[in-house]
Chains A and B, each alone.
Chain A
Amino acid sequence: MADGSIGLWTVPLAVLGGAIRVSTPFLFVSLGECITERSGRINLGLEGTLVMGAMSAYGISYLTGSPWLGVLAAGITGALLGALHAGICSLPRVNDIAVGIALMLFGTGLAFYLGKPLIEPTAPRLPAIDFGWWSDIPQVRAALRVNVLFLIGVALAPILYWAFRTTRWGLLIRTAGESSDAARAMGHSVLLIRLRATMVGGFLAGIGGSFLSLFYPGSWNEGLSSGQGITAVALVIFARWDPMLCLWASLAFGGAAALGPALQSVGVTSGYHLFNAAPYILTLAIMIITCSPKRTLTGAPAELSITR
């Protein structure tokens, strides 16, 4: 169109673009949490890990000039926070949910404290791959500017799905999550398996955080996460501990986040608070449809403290 506007097409395009742009942190956190929960432990601290990841990625990228080192630093920070969670939970009679809440507050607090001098400077950002080269519509090109981390996340979902089913360590994680007695009888240390699973989960969540500060929205500030980490943890339950469903759920949440602004931009202005709440309404609806008082959630690892 002559004036450069694409009218109502903005809405589906924004939802698609939003699914690509906004979903990545959800995807990494939920895949990480999926691994941790499959091993029989819940790490609610991933909100803190996400924020710490975002802060450390931004800081390292700013100091070294390399955003990829920032991503790595975010992953390592996340793994360390995961190790802390697993370490505390290894002690007798420690509740993993309570530790998770403590670590969530610790992670965000520490990130705000250390991140204070990082609010002003501008750090180098991660590059984007232009998948919209075939189109001459700038809106399409903008929606299809994809970051490598998104692609890695998308690839990771089927890999995890496959690994849980067919590999030895996938079996070990599931054994630890379904029956710690069985894992112990096989001669494996349940605590060690859970430590590793929580560290990998933290690593992925940290990388999810680096996406927030280094790609989209692309800078460090204290409101950056606004609860995305905790939403992603809830998303794992919603996705029934299935990595592939985590992928679809993350995409749906990303798209839903774009719905409110996009509808306002084409003139649907009434009830924008409702559209902004779309992701949460979606969660509630699916929870209500799929829940049943007669059985525990399908797919829930038996060792999880919420199902035990």
Chain B
Amino acid sequence: MDFGRISRRHLLQGSAALTLGAAAGVRPALAAETTIGFIYVGSRDDYGYNQAHAQGAAALKKIPGLKVVEEEKVPETDAVEKTIESMINLDGATLLFPTSFGYYNPHMIKMATKFPKLRFEHCGGLWSDKDPKNAGSYFGYIDEAQYISGIVAGYTSKSGKLGFVAAKPIPQVLRNINAFALGARLANPKATTQVIFTGDWSMPVKEAEATNSLIDQGVDVLTCHVDGPKTMVENAARRGAFVCGYHTNQSPLAPKAYLTGAEWNWEALYPKFVKMIAAGESIPNFYRGGLKEEIVKTSPYGEAVSAEARKHADEVKAKFLSAEGYAIFKGGLVDNKGKTVIAAGTDRGQKDPELEKMDYLVEGVIGATS
């Protein structure tokens, strides 16, 4: 009860100050010293999802006049609401980035309703008209970068067998697997991608076992979609297989085995957001983009990537960057059970909401979603 009373009082003080500021003609969003809060679900140097966001936060720290406060290992529960409140009340944060998927609903929505003058930006959520206007969700079409990884992997694999260590069969993960497999088939029409689900986001022993059993099956290029790709990258490299990274650049872990990787580009996006606020523009509540919008990027090619692979991958990348774009999921797409999932003639482009509901694995993927 005490907590609620204190925060309500702080809120009243806060909004009074904001009203005064607004009355005096000062834009409250980006005053002389603006504080931005970042909240991570895991450790910010995990060589993965959280590190990618922390790199974005680091890019903001370089901008003069910005103060960044961070908190790691905040569970996707009421705990995140307390963290948000303390960042607002104690640190004076006016822009918040709760970066984990499960923070969005109900936690961030609740906080955005409670602090209507502050801005909340969530990674991965699906903002809809019913949600508060000061909340927003952004995400990247990282499947475009996975598609490029797939092309490189398809050329590099000698056995034509690729492996994918995945956490859970949810749409975002399936979309990455499918994009990787389709990219590989562009390079080698006979290539197969074998997927193993570990069941959770961070299971190092299971990830290592999955990596080993894939390699035992003759897989010679692996990638993954788990929170920390370090285990997969190191174990695959030890067995002499090649890897494509995910989330951030893991090439320092295995310089010889690292081909390329699908990376987030938050260090380009976050300064963009801050500039938009400073210029008095509003950030679109629903913000999405891929390679062209600089929300995702690919790692520099490793030494093992052939000239042929580089050429093909660069061509496709140029198409993604072009004005008309490029559709990975083209009409006439068949899943690995033989069912047509996208009818001939209807290409599903990057922004197609149907793709965010993906529940199938395409032809060429060995594995099942349940």
Contact = CB atoms under 8 A, between A and B. Distances in A.
B199 A221 contact: no
A222 interface: yes
A57 B46 CA distance: 19
Interface string B63-106: 00000000001000000000000000000000000000000000
| Binding site secondary structure of chain B | mixed
Contact of B205 (A119, A217, A265, A266): A217
A276 B199 contact: yes
Contacts, number: 129
Interface in A1-41: 3-6, 10, 13-14, 17-18, 21-22
Interface stretch (A68-76, A187-195, A240-248, A254-262): A254-262
B230 interface: yes
Given A22-B209, A264-B367, 9 more contacts: A5-B159, A6-B217, A10-B216, A14-B213, A142-B212, A217-B204, A222-B42, A222-B46, A226-B203
A120 B235 contact: no
| Ranked 9 nearest A-B pairs via Cβ | A269-B368, A223-B202, A5-B218, A217-B208, A265-B213, A261-B210, A4-B218, A139-B216, A261-B209
Given A222-B42, A267-B366, A261 B206 contact: yes
Contacts of A21: 208-209, 212
Contact of A18 (B159, B209, B214, B238): B209
Nearest to A7: B217
Contacts of A266: 217
A290 to B, nearest CB: 27
Interface residues of B, number: 43
Interface of A: 3-6, 10, 13-14, 17-18, 21-22, 112, 116, 119-120, 122, 139, 142-143, 216-219, 221-224, 226, 228, 257-258, 260-262, 264-267, 269-270, 272-273, 276
A264 B209 CA distance: 11
A74 B47 CA distance: 24
Contact of B215 (A116, A142, A258): A142
A166 to B, nearest CB: 36
A273 B204 contact: no
Nearest to A277: B199
A264 B159 contact: no
Contacts of A258: 209, 213
A221 B235 CA distance: 14
28 contacts: A13-B216, A21-B208, A22-B209, A119-B45, A119-B46, A139-B216, A217-B207, A218-B234, A218-B235, A218-B238, A219-B204, A219-B234, A221-B43, A221-B202, A221-B228, A223-B227, A224-B204, A257-B209, A261-B198, A261-B210, A262-B209, A262-B213, A264-B210, A265-B213, A265-B214, A267-B366, A269-B368, A270-B368
